[in-house]
Structure 1
Amino acid sequence: MDYEERKRKKEARAVKKNSKDARKLLGAKGKRFAKKRYAEKAQMKKTLKMHDESSSRQKVDDDVEEGAIPSYLLDRDPTQRAKVLSNTIKQKRKEKAGKWDVPLPKVRPVAEEEMFKVLRTGKRKTKQWKRMVTKATFVGPGFTRKPPKYERFIRPTGLRFTKAHVTHPELKCTFNLDIISVKKNPNGPMYTSLGVMTRGTIIEVNVSELGLVTPAGKVVWGKSSVEKLSFFCPSLRLKPCSINQCFLSVQANTRRLQITRRMMAVSMLSCSCEALIQFWLRC
């Protein structure tokens, strides 16, 4: 019943709380708080500037027209509502930002019982705090295991993937590239940190060998409309695929899974020779 009133009072007190935190916080907390407030103020200034532009007028510098100008137009400067320009600029920004967005699909959440297998330890097998990952994972080359006594999550060597096949549709060339990292697992940050690759996971691969360049001369590390990318592990067979979809199959045996992967989109990064790839993985 008092929710709206309490909310209003809380928002009114937030200014004093922020002021107090800005004066009192020290060290790492103070730095984080200052960085957050700096970003908020910058965003606020941009918003206020956009509101000011929406109702202002500005001079339009057009080419001089041929012929005489009437005397009643000599003192006039052709103006144009800045709102139209600001809307156009905002629309271009949205298009530019959306161009490199990787759409996350709506995937079925994987249950913890399906993702992990409980390992019983101890002399009487009564301890149940260890877990073994049952899905495909990526582990970096510099990874060092913890001592077995303290290792909570175990990632089997047979389920680790380190390579990717990158196929160019125009050149008809396939490049065997390294997987750099797992960027995002839709099931949660814990699975992302473990490097688990389930349906809808975005991974990062090294595409420096492609050497694509934009008309402006910038290096492009990946684009879904240009490249076909898929994933590779030992004993893979490449199947026919369309321009924007790649399918690879791993023959199932005692140590390998039957896996189908589909590339959806990639993103552009600058200096680290890497690209984001969204793929589907069915175990």
Structure 2
Amino acid sequence: MMISKNFKLYFLVLTGIFLHMQSFSQSVTEIKKFKVAEAKQAVAVDDHFFYVINNSTIGKFTKKDGKLVTTWDGTSEGIKHLNSGVVIKGKLYCANSNYPEIPMASSVEIFDVNTMKHVGNHSFGIAEHGSLTWIDQKDGFWWIGFAHYSGKEASEGRDVRWTSLVKFDLEWRQTESWIFPKNIVELFTPKSNSGGAWGNDGLLYCTGHDRPELYVMKLPKSGYTLEHIRTLPAEIYGQGIAIDHSIKDKQIIYGLNRATNTITLSEIK
């Protein structure tokens, strides 16, 4: 039977579209969870432990069974609003801000994960970009989320639209920055971008403040606006997240649910 060239072309186009859709399909499946009373702000993770961050405190827990190993309390040191953290080569780097005070001021607080002692600090002072909410490292650069808010928490007439991703070199010198697309800004509002982490797939996973969603982003080929790839429903209700880079063959993300004081482990497929 003869098949027309037009039909063949149509079939190839449909096949291409189908494969394209398949390559971009993703889902988030919860695989484990731990009840942690202090699960309010964020979670970080390394090879054997996860770290629960809550304003002025950090708890170190075993990944295997969720048992508390030790805690750090920065109340006496004036730490009031740790937002998130990332573990890099034995050090926990935490985003710290003076939220909801105005003018916004931010710093990075550094801890030795073995001793859980505070070992360093990088201060942005009054941060021109906004309130530091999350930090990650990729390709030899720091990637930092700076938030702006709406309503009474807005700073100097700026609202959520001013929220940005800023890239720094390892000496904290800014190299580039991007804004979020309008549809994501609307989902952040009236709060802002609370968490972010680079995945093993080279994509950026972001959260807002409350919605049970992950926003998958990538850098644009041109312009200044991050590209929104997709939105993934997830049992992660905003706040600070972490990708477990110690697992190479799977993409495991740690998140939390403030309402139930739960740390969740999910697989992104």
TM-score, scaled to structure 1: 0.22
**Structure with greater proportional strand content:** 2
**Structure with greater proportional helix content:** 1
The structure having more radius of gyration, on CA atoms, is: 1
Identify which of structures 1 and 2 has the higher relative contact order when contacts are C-alpha pairs closer than 8 Å and 6+ apart.
2
TM-score, scaled to structure 2: 0.23
